[in-house]
Every structure is written in C-alpha cells, then in structure tokens.
Amino acid sequence: MLSRSRALGSAALLAALTLAATGCSSSSSSSDPLGGSTKAANPSGGAASGSTVVVGSANYPENVLLASIYSQALQAKGVKVTEKFNIGSREVLFDQVKSGNLTVLPEYNGALLAYLDSKSTAATEADVNAALTKELPAGLGILDSSAAEDKDSLTVTQATADKYNLKSIADLGPLAGGFTVGGMPEFKSRREQQFKDVYGLTFKDWKPTADTTANAIKDGTVQVGDVFTTDPKLMQLGLVSLADPKNLFGAQNVTPLVYKAGVNPTATAALDAVSAKLDTTQLVTLMKKVSVDKDDPAAVAKDWVKANGLG
C-alpha cells in the first residue's frame, strides 16, 4: 500500500532521544521521556478509574490539532489528561503507545497498516481496520474510525469540474489523453500503471510539481494533480478532489490508536464520539484556521469540540 508518509526520518528520532537525555521538565512528572511538549490538563477531573490518559501526537500541525481535539473531548467527560505533543516519527510514537507511555494517538488507518504490513492490499476502511486488528500487538487497539481522511486525491479546478461534469476519477476516462498530471516526482512511478489497471486511464503527460501541485492546477500548468484531501489550498484556490470509488488510493481514515489498558469506557465513548462527528470537509476547514490563519490549534480544537456538542 503506497500512501503519504507521516513518519519523519532519523533526525526526528535523534531529536526525540536528545531531548529525552536532557530530562525535559513537565508539569505532571519529573521528566518527559518523549521529548514532547507536556501539559497536565483537568487535574480535578477523572475517568471512572481515576487514571490519567496520555494523549500524544506526531510533530506536524494536523496531528497536533487532532490530538488536541481528542484531549479536549476527553477532558469534557471528566477524564484526566496529560498532553505530549510534537513528539516525532511513527517509529517513536508506536513504540511509546506499545509500552503504555502514551495512551492515545491520532493515527491514519491505511498508513499505520502499511507500517505494520507493507504487503497488505487492504483498501477499504472496513478491510484496513480488520487487517489492523489482526496486526496490532495484543495490548493495542483501534477505536472507531472517522470519516475524515488525509489521503492522495486527483484534484481539478472547480471550473474544470463544472465544464466536464467531473465527480470521480472514473469521469476522466474520455479526457485523460489530453490532460497533464502533476504531483511529487515519484507520483508517476507509483501510480501510472495503477490508473491504467484500475480506471483504464492513460494521461497525456506527467509533470513533477512537488509541493506546488495545487498552484500548478490553479494556473493551468497541469489539468489534474495529486493534492492531499486536507490541504487548505483546496479551499483557498477553489479546487475539487475527485471521488475514488474503486479505492485506488486506499483508506486513510483518522483513527485513534490506543493502549487498551489505559482507556476505560468513558474515554472510549468520548473518542468514538469525536470520530462520529469528524469528516474531511471539517478537517480541511480546521486546518485552514491552523495553517493559513495561524490560529492556535488548542483554540481551534476547543471551538470544534464545543460546536459539535462534545464539550
């Protein structure tokens, strides 16, 4: 399964270990072994067991935002929470959940499955989650997945979608021969044959556009391109992600990964309630506030939790 990599490299691991070695202080413990920013939350509350749930995140804005949403939804139900955000790579994070140093982590089900089983061909949400349940160590589990996905998508301008009545990748059939596709340099080698096999599409040309793909679509350098479904530029530039009914890109649903011994029914219900409310459109809107408007992720999370009746 080929998907967006959310694991940083050895530099992130080295940074985390270096911070651990210096014994970073924390408001809830004498040291922070994960090297993340730690904040004790709601010290007077508590879940039924009275234990503290440690919510972690990777070190990029979307994951921090999602972790803050989890944290505040838990606190609203009286769960004691410690936040350890901006930790680093999946390699570091997964081991910390496995050991119980982290209790809850926002994950992406397809990317997590690819990390655990690089040969898996599961593509739908149900199949990916079933495979994950088998692959995870006995002490770990996943809770309900949300409808929100951060995944590759073939994207066009609203004008192109309207002109050709494009709703899904399949609708590109009669147009592909005249369209140039933009994306990261490796996008062609990873996806060209898949588009032929799955959708019968042969595009006119493939153009490396890297992080400027959204702009290249907007200015007409390419007619269609690979833009992630939670990229704020979708809203900024008026772009449309085409549906992928045959799951070529595979599921990437935002899904809580949990250390099972650390979450009781109160915590589980709070996290499942978040998943029941969160969808991709909302996540794009939230990410615009964080990445473009530069609003504080905790404040954005608080507003979303309150607006959705979870806090």
Quote the pLDDT of residue 311: 84
CB 240 within 8 A of CB 158: yes
**Which of the pair, 46 or 123, is modelled with greater confidence?**
123
Give the sheet arrangement for strand 239-241, strand by strand: 205-208, 180-183, 224-226, 154-157, 239-241
The whole-number average pLDDT for the span 25-51 is: 42
Chain centroid, CA 23 distance in Å? 29
Residues 6 or more apart whose Cβ sits within 8 Å of residue 65: 286, 287, 290, 297, 300, 301
Domain boundaries, the chain: 10-149+251-307, 154-241
Quote the pLDDT of residue 30: 31
In whole numbers, what is the pLDDT of the chain averaged over residues? Answer: 87
CATH topology of domain 10-149+251-307: D-Maltodextrin-Binding Protein; domain 2 (3.40.190)
Quote the pLDDT of residue 143: 98
The whole-number average pLDDT for the span 72-77 is: 98
Question: Which percentage of the chain shows pLDDT scores above 70?
Answer: 84
Could you tell me whether strands 104-108 and 254-259 are parallel, antiparallel, or unpaired per DSSP bridges?
antiparallel
**Nearest-5° Cα angle at 54, 58 to 94:** 45
Closest CA to 13 of 76, 93, 71: 93
Closest CA to 43 of 29, 57, 64: 29
Distance in angstroms (rounded) separating the CA atoms of residues 148 and 150: 7
Predicted confidence (pLDDT) at residue 177 exceeds the cutoff of 90: yes
Predicted confidence (pLDDT) at residue 38 exceeds the cutoff of 60: no
Quote the pLDDT of residue 259: 98
Is residue 144 very low, low, confident or very high in pLDDT (cuts 50, 70, 90)? very high
Chain centroid, CA 174 distance in Å? 33
Quote the pLDDT of residue 50: 55
What is 154-241's CATH number?
A: 3.40.190.120
Distance in angstroms (rounded) separating the CA atoms of residues 65 and 171: 34
Global confidence as pTM = 0.81
pLDDT of 208-248, one tens digit each? Answer: 997 799 999 999 999 999 999 999 999 999 999 999 999 99
